Structure 1
């Protein structure tokens, strides 16, 4: 029988991945995309794990999304045949690598974003035998990157269409920073408007998808394009930020938290106050503090190597369990993570490559 994480072979603190939740989330999101006529290109910057990427691809993912060419190199090593760089790529070394990969493998697909004439020209200067296939990004006021107006979008798209070494193939957008469903619906309208003006064969429309995939599924149902969702956080979900924001709070289905951190109580220096041996290097804190799974425990603050909690009845040596908030800054704190079953027996290993 596989060893339990509590059998003495593991140091603490320790983050674990629950196998059942991980597999459930991958299957659930794959089914949602399939049932709504969309393709999934999960954003692997969340986990940067070959083991998880393999599961996502086996579940039917169209390809994998990354944030830059450094991640693209790693993901290519996972065996990815299709990679979306959900960003403007301007790094010469990264573009040289991509051009070499495209030349070496006719079956390799590489998509990147562009939102400026200058960005298109940078791509063209580093293109090789095959052109860089580009999604022209349409943004929104106050958002991240992306052309702010339709006129600007059309100018960039026309320049890409007339520039050797670059091939516009669709539209990209990111809706994750918008405050509500009404704003997302309006933004989807701007993306479909941009798509209607883009005269390309078999167009692609790529959107984020982690917080609003229900709205996206409805709004883009009639779009004549391959709709690519780049959702990433769904794979492990969480007990905080995404638990509150998942579209499955509004539609049928559920995601389950797959990450959990165990840590010892180190000190009880005052009545009702305890110091836990888990800090900012072990668990995320940027979108909410860890969530205690023991009743009566409240996290007050985190330090580099410690977490201060308010609780009664704790003593040094006690083990506490915590859920996490925001998986995208959880995986990167660990290079090796045990995968456990419901009894915390180790049934596998996940390695990250940040």
Structure 2
């Protein structure tokens, strides 16, 4: 397993102090530098240590309370240090989307991987077969959503001489116009029949992603989830899971996991144990835009509340008019696929004092500039730092390879390494 603490700090990592070059990440962490006075350059993305810990504990207790297993989607962060924290907080395993992500997970010792995609690449299947054969303790589950996909998997695994069968779940699509997945129960049965005809695959359950339900609301999401659980019940009665050790029923993005918990709680007793597997991933860092509005905790406040953990600090480099300013962070640094960054606080370039960003609004992003509108009376000068909240964690992590983990007083206690 790679030792991330012994990786050397150099020019590859944005915003880190130039005088830290040549130190290991562990050595730099031990110095406990201050984000604002410790030599970091702008723009710099920071992750709140307190908010990350709060969010980890909240989902751990939520899953326990609702009888759910939890395999958070690792593609949100691709950060093995966060995977370890999630596993410490009760996660069953980590979810991946593509073979590269699964390889990163295995390189860092992840023992259980749920691949939320059909895997038909023969090179990736050859790698998977070797991983399964080499490690009897490695558990892997992936989607199947077509007869042709099953044929391709079987062909590649037989060619690889796979000694262990690959566990698969049939993906039920979230409706017409949704993303992947079989659209009808009849189609699902045809895929299950194709799996049963192979010697390389083992059907262990059903799964899908309710976030792709067209025009999603609680009623539509609940209706689709009932289709998914009914499929599991019918197939359990029909003996389709006879070869499985447990039945996997899985769903759950970061917007509707309350509805997933409600419907999964209605599942009857099966002849085999049932793994009710939630896959929400964006909760670790949460955000200040998309997921802040959609989090199930807004609908069920007694369950608690997630905290946005990201803040992008960017410096004002131009103030051409009283109504306009520009900072040095742009599309290369800030998530912008769902919402623009939100100006939250200003750190005074003269005094270091931090205040609310009143009258300051980010209106656009260029490659390396944020366009900022300032209202009358907004106190903003060249040299000030603007702390911005970001929307969509998945496209925040992927822009930064080494992210300072920062306590409330600005002390950097660790650096989170990402592998996109």
In the alignment, what sits opposite 1:229?
278
SS of the equivalent of 2:180 reads coil
Note if contact 1:41-1:64 (Cα within 8 Å) is conserved in structure 2: yes
Note if contact 2:400-2:418 (Cα within 8 Å) is conserved in structure 1: yes
Residue of structure 2 aligned with 1:205, choices 236, 241, 249:
249
Q: Are 2:390 and 1:324 aligned?
A: yes
Note if contact 1:209-1:216 (Cα within 8 Å) is conserved in structure 2: no
In the alignment, what sits opposite 1:177?
212
Tell me: CA distance 1:3–1:206, structure 2 relative to 1, closer, same or farther (3 Å): same
Deviation of the 1:208 alpha carbon = 2.5
Deviation of the 1:8 alpha carbon = 4.1
2-side partners of 1:222 and 1:239: how far apart?
33
Q: Are 2:241 and 1:217 aligned?
A: no
1-side partners of 2:153 and 2:64: how far apart?
33
1-side partners of 2:64 and 2:151: how far apart?
36
Unpaired runs of 5+ residues, structure 1, are: none
In the alignment, what sits opposite 1:56?
86
2-side partners of 1:239 and 1:124: how far apart?
44
1-side partners of 2:87 and 2:156: how far apart?
30
Q: Deviations over 1:146-204 (max 9, x none)?
A: 11011000110111012110111000111112320000110011101211232214210
2-side partners of 1:54 and 1:116: how far apart?
34
SS of the equivalent of 2:394 reads helix
Alignment of 1:117-128 (within 5 A): 117-127=147-157, 128=162
1-side partners of 2:395 and 2:406: how far apart?
21
Note if contact 2:252-2:260 (Cα within 8 Å) is conserved in structure 1: no
SS of the equivalent of 2:61 reads helix
Deviation of the 1:45 alpha carbon = 0.2
Q: Are 2:379 and 1:313 aligned?
A: yes
In the alignment, what sits opposite 2:324?
273
1-side partners of 2:307 and 2:171: how far apart?
32
Alignment of 1:271-350 (within 5 A): 271-293=322-344, 294-311=357-374, 312-350=378-416
Bigger Cα Rg:
2
2-side partners of 1:23 and 1:162: how far apart?
46
TM-score (normalizing by structure 1): 0.98
1-side partners of 2:284 and 2:155: how far apart?
37
SS of the equivalent of 2:210 reads coil
In the alignment, what sits opposite 1:20?
50
Alignment of 1:29-68 (within 5 A): 29-68=59-98
In the alignment, what sits opposite 1:196?
233
2-side partners of 1:34 and 1:125: how far apart?
40
Q: Deviations over 1:255-313 (max 9, x none)?
A: 00111000100101112100111101101000100011012111111111001010133
Alignment of 1:32-181 (within 5 A): 32-127=62-157, 128-139=162-173, 140-178=175-213, 179-181=216-218
2-side partners of 1:300 and 1:275: how far apart?
10
Note if contact 1:15-1:262 (Cα within 8 Å) is conserved in structure 2: yes
Note if contact 1:99-1:126 (Cα within 8 Å) is conserved in structure 2: no
Aligned residues: 354
2-side partners of 1:209 and 1:67: how far apart?
13
